[in-house]
Structure 1
């Protein structure tokens, strides 16, 4: 049966606000080529509305037919032929909805007309809100809107049933008759008593399971109560036995004696630790004293060698200079005077150093105890370290964030780029020779190069020359000024000169942050605990101790040497010596300028004098020390003392390691914990015995054994009932699945004929391929070269081509049964390459010899050469 659309007219339907019609459609291939938004897709929607959407519905789809913002009644008129007989449809929606059909059987209106259309087209009534194309029958599959063919889809149930009827003769048998339906209805009725439609247990199965679960719960509770009573007897006997054991353990005094011995060992271990600390301090003091004496002797030996070397060099230099003595008399006098001043300064410096040494000796002779003096020195060092810590912390806080550094770098880049732009876009003038009478912008122009970024006026005699740089030069200079200002503002906010200064500040802050940890470690090192003066570890304890010591010394009349004053005097002497040394060097330099010949000898003599004086000063200062006279004996005694301290330290270390305080404390704690645990266990056991005796007394006379037996009988009966119901449910489920399997196996016989017809078309597009259809007639895979390719993984273009070809194959099957068939494709084959597009057009042209095909497309170049009936849509 052929279906040929002849005419489509719409009024008030979506974008067609005014009456509009497309006429002249014929059998075979019809091509409508129009630009986008001309209304091609709207015409296809109008056809679907006329044939399949109920006229009196007001669902969401029907509401969308009215033009936006207008309250009108969309109206559609379609003229078509069925097997050569003329039909016409007039349908109106929303306002005064109406439907009228004119056919060879006469006219029909309203619901009668709807029923006649459904019977003609094999469709069913659509009750969805948005339109369900599966209810449209064959034309729902063959009238393809935009993008609907981009994926291979299965035909609806109506189409599958129609194809099954068509292929029934080829297949030979089909399962689905009246007898099958009656059996299936009886099986489903019994199945619903045991199972839900989704295969979940319900009804009789749930009732039997609930009874079995309730019986099991009751039996379990009864058995648990009976078992609990029996356990109570056993637990009571066990608790009484454990209580006797605990009482025997409490009566045993072994742990008491052991603890007493451990306490004595603990006192010994603590004393050994204290002796070890003392020996460490003695060893460190002896080592420090030995190192000081050795260092003093080494410095004396070095100074004696330097003094002898300097004397030899001085004698040689003076002999060499005797030949030029007369010529250098004046210069020598000045040098001698400078040397005299230098020697006086050195003598004064030696006196200041000697005074400082005497002051230090007096300070060391103070009657304060060694431990107190050590605490004072550590306190002074602590204050200095804390000041260093505060300074480092302040410096670390000046770090500049990475965002600011990045901003500075960006500003520098912006300034550089702006300078480059100014240099590139500016105009350069170079003036040479005589510049008389040349004026630029009212001022005399000087010779040389000048860069212009804005218009300049140059007067030469009576003529005026106007130089205009490119317009971008002025904006580039303004950009440069803005970039410079922005960079300056950013730098001024943090008080830095440039990016290098910011990086230097960050480096200093980072070094200070690293130094904080070092200073903190040094603070901890100079604030150890000292048991001799009851000093705890930590800076605060040391400060408190020194404060108390200062209070104690407040009433003392003993005058302490002014070490600070002596140090300042020594610093002043050093400064004076340095100045005298500088004056002497200046005299030597003047002598060198006057007499170049004598310069090397004068320099050698001056250096020898300086080295000799320095060496003599060092030797005299060392030999003036009171301990120098007995240095050898002191060294011997210091070495013996250091050796003895090391031996004592080793002995104290062995004694301390032999008595581990922590291990002894752990053993004492274990004994104490064992005693506490034993007492707590006895209390718990006595409480538990009382509880068990009360439980036995209350539960013993309730007949728990009889209750457990009755509950067990009910459980066995419920389990038997559950097993029987489960077997019945499984039997019904198996029977239902067997019937469904048989129906599916029979349905699968339709796949072969469908694949055979589809392959005729698909082989033209994909040669040497096999097709696989699912039970619902969906094209699943294409087999090429022995490789299965799922249709969902193919390209969009290939999927669209396969979707069109399978629809043509279904159309052929429907034609064989005499169903009204036509094919409408809206913007088809949008992803096809040129070669496959030509193949598809050939297949469509051949299919148009059997059915009407309407192509709605905007691709003029792709379909310009295709033969067929061409239609033009006027602008709506």
Structure 2
């Protein structure tokens, strides 16, 4: 089976028609991002086959928010040399039309023919589900279900068994299965399907484990009792020694002595902090006094510097004042040049406007001449067109009636030939002087007559010869011919003609006239696409515009030889503008510089006056002398504080205050620990005494011996059931392996196809299937040993690969059985690594030599080396 064309309309996101043609017989790769429409195309194919056209449970096919739509799917495909076309619409326009080489099957008949061809069923009620999909459900993989194979194979099981010839069903109903079922039943009473104990075997194991646990618990309690006796003696000895030593009291006394020494050291540290603060204040005062003395010395130098700045600012201001006249003159010249350039540009713009209007007028004159010719031609064509339409109306004749007349005439000719062949022929060869009468008409000489009805030949002097044409065909042909003759006369009257030739002649004239009308309409549309009135209005508007331009051009001056062009006038104005802006900027900068210079001069004068007044103050020398004396006193105090701090710091370091703090903490914690240990020891001693008293009354030794005897009995019971379970499990395995060997012989064609594909992925590997044709165990070589992995225990990616290989093998099997195949993969193998994906591409390419494959993916980069050109789904939508 080869799909040739797919068209979907008003279906989910395809509101407008989307059509895919020229599908390849091998792999067809469709790519696009998520939500681009790939799954919608797959849903369209599934709906075309699986959903009944009368179903009301397919609302998911409608475009979102459009409940009035009628989802429609069209499919063209080939099968065994026949062309099939399926057109199916849902919901608002429910219909199904299937055409097979010209034969049409509509409605339920078409759907049943499709289901019998591909091997699936329709849902009795509601939307189609997986259990109805049969073989297409196995070969068409939905997104995210590539690893699932058991259910699809189960639903397609009957069709697959039919391809194998039905032997599988006979084998599974043999007496061998009864034995296997009996052994399996006996085994299931002791073991689960995965080999775990159950029933009496599991109970025996539980009993053994329970008794073993009880015995272990009793024995542990006996050991604990003995340990507690030993621990009690040890605790009593330790308690006696602790009461004699009372170490916690000694530790607390030592901690108090260490705290006293630490308090004395902390008092020294406070004195040290106080003297350190006094030293820092003294150093700050010294620096302040030095700053004051340095300020007195720097004021004289600052006064001289301020004098120099004042003179410099006076010279700068004088220089700026001298530059003012030149700047003002340059600005006036720039303003004058700019005004002249502006006037020149205005004149050039007027000249340019006059030239543009002149060019526009010339264009309008040319258009007027062209449109005038077009209007004349259009009016001529319009007249001819009206005349031809009147002729067409008078020659109007129905082509379908002419065609029917032709068919009737042809059928009459055929019946005449047939009538001539079956009619009774009467041939007369009479002498010149003899004659006879046929149905009242005289017959002489040689002649031939055809009789389709009974006739009488009267022979004078002899009598009457009656001729009865034989057979019912003659009468039927006569009746048919008469009916057709009546219909022919009715058709000729309806067409108002006397013969078929006349009708065909009128029809030919009508067609020629129609072609002439179409040609004239096309020419008229070219000459006046908007109509004669619109063309005439356009002529009037252009004439009015021409007159308006003439009036406007008279209002503008004419250009002389000395006039500048618009570009040169714009360039001159731009230069004048730049010169004006430069002159204005220079004038503004000079004004700003002069203002800044004036401010700087005033500031320099004020600073000089302030410093000069401070230097001339009467108490300045007295304040300087007081500062010098204060500096001497502060330096003496600084030396005294430094000596005291050094001596006390040595005394603190020798006392080691950090070590004293650690001693206090260590001794207090030691006292607390010793006291807590004694309390804990006392509590433990009381608890052990209570436990020993309680354990002595339980009789633990007697309980241990009794449980030991019960445990031996439970072990014997468990071993007996264990031997039986292993024997049944071995027998069940051997029987199933034997039946699997028989099954493998019956399934050899399927196994051959499976192994063919599997070798491309895992050399020397094989995939076993069960009696229901479902993949069961993957056997391959790994690390020098044979590995057997159950299908459901494989990784997600490996299950997806094995399931796809199985589907391809089923397709090969169906193809050999003469059944149609089509493989659809929606985002398959997305969980495969690069190496496995490369091998699976080889598998797909090999399968494409025998089957058509539609592959949809949102990962186009993964399939570039598939050997086919990808089709972008978004591009298909236009």
- The TM-score, its normalising length taken from structure 1, stands at 0.41
- The TM-score, its normalising length taken from structure 2, stands at 0.41
